[in-house]
Amino acid sequence: MTTLRLFLVGLGARSRVWRQVIAAEPRARLVGVVDADPDRAAAVGAELGLPYATDLALLTARVDADAVILVTPPSGRAPQIKAACAARLAILAEKPLADSVPEAASFVAMADAAGISLMVGLNFRYLAVTQALKTLFADDRLGPPAFGLFAYERWRDGRQPHINRYPLTMQHPMLWEQSIHHFDLMRYVYGAEPLRISARTWNPPWSMYAHDANVAALITFANGVEVTYQGTWAANRNSLDFKWRTDCARGIAVQADMFGDLSFALRDDPAPTPVTLARHEPWISDATGLFEAFLAHVSDGAPLQCSGADHLQSLRMVEAVSVASAKSQTITLNTPPAAEPGCHRLQIDQVQPERRNKG
Ligand SMILES: NC(=O)c1ccc[n+]([C@@H]2O[C@H](COP(=O)([O-])OP(=O)(O)OC[C@H]3O[C@@H](n4cnc5c(N)ncnc54)[C@H](O)[C@@H]3O)[C@@H](O)[C@H]2O)c1
């Protein structure tokens, strides 16, 4: 059995999950680590007994590897993507791929031109609850989904020492860091692309974030599903409340926890029926599923999942929400045959938003 030789770039909060997942996988091993902070790079390199550097290109010049996991903030990743392509390393990059649609599209084009696989870390797709929800809609018991309510309400204390700090100062932290997962899940589970988005983002008076911690959106998907979305990192109770309800032709499906708690009911059922889910460890099982898909692709030639090109569609939703809010307009994506009155078509790829990550 050959083992996949990996570099881990970015040794902050999220890297702890990746270190645990890689350590548990006999078909892969770390062969070097990178962090822009020289003390952090040296400390982790010493702890793991591995070569380390402050820049990926410096490491690829002296150590051979097969793939890289990018766990850096989404701003300023161009040198890392270039270095990975130059060294012919398959890339697994944490979401969001970049902090603007044009930059993310340029990374997808760069990897494509170099013949390098680019996967994005959309770990929530690999939860048992996500797979079960997708199956529920596919097996026709409930009939086709028609409309949904997706609510994610969290008091996220961004000053805690064990989490990243850059969202405190970036533009649209909730949208780019968190809603991106939710929009990806909607596209994945409903199996449809968005057509129209109207939205409002704002920052509650007590928010610790410099920019908008609240996102409200109405999203129309190409298969007719209408979703009402509310996401916040500034809910005013120290908890994480999650609810994703979908009303279908014959009944409803309700996911009541970010990691599980799925049930369904037909219209006249007296009580919902819980769906039995495989055991999972939050953050670890989902990242493990994602990593196994990456390994299957790179090592065994399985089709690439969560591709960078696919991720661009979710990033376009993110961008559309911020533009819809700023301009008080409905934004049309994936243009239907004829534009509707009062609906403003936007070429999201041409929008040059302000740099999002100031941190
Ligand atoms: N999928 C998930 O569930 C999930 C969860 C948390 C974070 N993330 C994502 O992971 C990424 C990193 O988040 P984090 O929480 O680890 O952030 P963090 O700020 O805690 O850590 C980032 C690390 O990257 C280093 N770094 C910055 N620029 C670099 C560069 N050019 N080269 C090398 N190292 C550099 C920093 O010094 C820091 O150590 C983000 O994209 C974030 O959205 C994903």
Query: Which residue's alpha carbon is at the smallest distance from atom 21 of ligand 1?
Result: 12
Q: How far is the CA of 287 from the centre of ligand 1 (A)?
A: 15
41 and 112 share one domain: yes
185 and 325 share one domain: yes
Give the confidence band of 335 by pLDDT, cuts at 50, 70, 90.
low
Report the pLDDT value the prediction gives residue 1, as an integer from 0 to 100: 65
Asked, for residue 355, whether it belongs to a domain, the answer is no
19 and 64 share one domain: yes
Mutate to test the pocket of ligand 1, among 15, 72, 154, 240 (most ligand atoms within 8 A of CB): 72
Q: How far is the CA of 83 from the centre of ligand 1 (A)?
A: 18
Which residue type sits at 7? F
CA separation for the pair 73, 357 (Å, rounded): 8
Structure token pair of residue 336: 């239907």
Give the confidence band of 140 by pLDDT, cuts at 50, 70, 90.
confident
Q: Looking at ligand 1, which atom is closest to the CA of residue 14?
A: 16
215 and 303 share one domain: no
pLDDT one-digit tens code per residue, 210-242: 999 999 999 999 999 999 999 999 999 999 999
1-10, 66-75, 119-128: least confidently modelled range = 1-10
Q: How far is the CA of 243 from the centre of ligand 1 (A)?
A: 27
pLDDT one-digit tens code per residue, 268-284: 999 999 999 999 999 99
The answer on pLDDT for 355 being more than 50 is no
259 and 343 share one domain: yes
**Residues 298, 301, 302, 303: what is their CA dihedral angle, to the nearest 10 degrees?**
80
> How far is the CA of 117 from the CAs of 81, 188, 301, in angstroms?
11, 20, 11
Asked, for residue 318, whether it belongs to a domain, the answer is yes
Structure token pair of residue 59: 């490491």
Give the confidence band of 251 by pLDDT, cuts at 50, 70, 90.
very high
Domain of 55, CATH number, reads 3.40.50.720
120 and 247 share one domain: no
Asked, for residue 356, whether it belongs to a domain, the answer is no
Asked, for residue 38, whether it belongs to a domain, the answer is yes
Q: How far is the CA of 33 from the centre of ligand 1 (A)?
A: 13
265 and 297 share one domain: no
Q: How far is the CA of 297 from the centre of ligand 1 (A)?
A: 24
> How far is the CA of 145 from the CAs of 124, 134, 248, 334, 336, in angstroms?
20, 11, 4, 20, 20
Domain of 237, CATH number, reads 3.30.360.10
Q: Looking at ligand 1, which atom is closest to the CA of residue 11?
A: 39
Strand, coil or helix: what is 190? Answer: helix
Query: Which residue's alpha carbon is at the smallest distance from atom 30 of ligand 1?
Result: 36
353 preceded by cis ω (within 30°)? no
116 and 243 share one domain: no
171 and 102 share one domain: no
Range(s) of the domain holding residue 54:
4-124+286-307
Strand runs labelled E in 99-213: 118-121, 145-154, 194-202
299 and 257 share one domain: no
Query: Which residue's alpha carbon is at the smallest distance from atom 3 of ligand 1?
Result: 123
Q: How far is the CA of 78 from the centre of ligand 1 (A)?
A: 15
Report the pLDDT value the prediction gives residue 352, as an integer from 0 to 100: 36
140 and 265 share one domain: yes
Q: How far is the CA of 97 from the centre of ligand 1 (A)?
A: 11
Query: Which residue's alpha carbon is at the smallest distance from atom 27 of ligand 1?
Result: 72
Q: How far is the CA of 84 from the centre of ligand 1 (A)?
A: 17
Average the pLDDT over 84-102 and give the result: 97
Asked, for residue 357, whether it belongs to a domain, the answer is no
Pocket of ligand 1 from Cβ distances under 6 Å? 9-15, 34-37, 40, 71-74, 76, 80, 94-95, 121, 123, 164, 166, 177
Contact 315, 96 (CB under 8 A): yes
Report the pLDDT value the prediction gives residue 139, as an integer from 0 to 100: 84
Q: Is the pTM of this model over 0.85?
A: yes
Total domains in the fold of the chain: 2
Average the pLDDT over 105-121 and give the result: 98
